[in-house]
Amino acid sequence: MRTSQVKDIDGGLLTWFKQSRAQGASISRPILMEKAGELAKELGISFVSCSAWLGRFKRRHGIVFKAVSGEAASVNMTTVDKWRDSADETGFFFKCPPDKTLDFKRALCTGGKKAKDCLTVLVAVVMSGTEKTTPLCNRQNCQALMFQQHQATDYHANKKAWMTIDLFVQWLKS
């Protein structure tokens, strides 16, 4: 096969890839290889895509395999103005050690129980920046209440460090 024919497939596949990603499509290795075969067939070129060719194609064009995350792609931009306030909560397992480590190949790698000490934090923002909200922190035990002098955060405690409706309503009204 001539180099110019491979360049035709390469260029067509790159164009298709850019258009598909711009539309938010998820593209896997098998899909990319299948599309390369389809393009070759359309161009009348005898071509069979293989992992080695695909690896070189990805390297040439800076294409990497990534995890798709977040919800930004599903946001309807016409409703953004209506939703000017946003709040989110997250849990911090602050005593939990990492679940992976470097070790020797033949060594037995064991660990203990995972720590369950948790701090849940709720933060909120207003898009215009005109209002400031105090973060709401909720911890499992009453020792967290010793931090109540800290004015930058609203501290509470309950058995499982969960945000409850009562806590949320109380925080919202303050």
- Which mean pLDDT values do the consecutive 10-residue runs of the chain (174 residues) have? 72 90 83 90 86 89 78 65 74 72 60 72 80 81 58 76 84 80
The pairs formed by 150-153 with CB atoms below 8 angstroms and a separation of 24 or more are none
CB-CB contact of 108 with 83 (8 Å): no
- Burial of residue 167, with CB atoms counted within 10 A of its CB: 0-12 exposed, 13-18 middle, 19 or more buried: middle
Identify the pLDDT of residue 1: 47
d(CA 55, CA 51): 6
Q: Is 5 helix (H, G, I), strand (E, B) or coil?
A: helix
Which two tokens mark 104?
A: 């020797």
Spatial CB neighbours of 144, under 8 Å, sequence gap ≥ 6: 119, 137, 138, 155, 156, 157
Contact call for residues 157 and 144 (beta carbons, < 8 A): yes
Nearest residue to 19 via CA among 39, 1, 3: 39
CA distance to 7, 22, 44, 63, 69, per residue, from 48 (Å): 14, 27, 12, 20, 32
pLDDT tens digits, 95-123: 776 666 655 566 566 666 666 777 888 88
Query: What structural domains does the chain harbor?
Result: 3-61 (1.10.10.60), 75-97+113-173 (no CATH)
Give the whole-angstrom CA distance, residue 153 versus residue 168: 14
DSSP string across 86-154: EEEEEEE-TTPPPS-----TTS-----PPP---EEEEEEEETTS------EEEESSGGGGGGGG-TTSE
